[in-house]
Amino acid sequence: MSDYQKLLEMWREEKQKRQTAEGELSIIKGIGNNSPEMKKLKEENEKLKKDLTKEKLDREYDNSVHKQEIEDLMKGKFKR
């Protein structure tokens, strides 16, 4: 077997191993993204995003109320 043929055979073997590894990785990613655990984490993530948005809106409202109260105090209009 010539050096060229040896190199060609080694390249073919390496190519086959790489293709096999890429295929297995693709399968693992597909299973991982569709697993019950991953679906549950995605649902929990969406819930947390909604909760965070609600908390931000509540905070904005509270800040606007407090700002108005401070303005009223500064004008002397706020009565207890």
Summarize pLDDT for 15-35 with one digit per residue, the tens: 999 999 999 998 888 887 788
Cα–Cα distance measured from residue 15 to residue 23, given in angstroms and rounded to the nearest whole number: 12
Assign 3 to helix, strand or coil.
helix
Residues 6, 14 contacting (CB under 8 angstroms):
no
Summarize pLDDT for 56-77 with one digit per residue, the tens: 999 999 999 999 999 888 888 6
Assign 11 to helix, strand or coil.
helix
If we measure between CA atoms, which residue out of 53, 72, 52, 76 comes closest to residue 64?
72
Q: Which residue has the tokens 């969406």?
A: 46
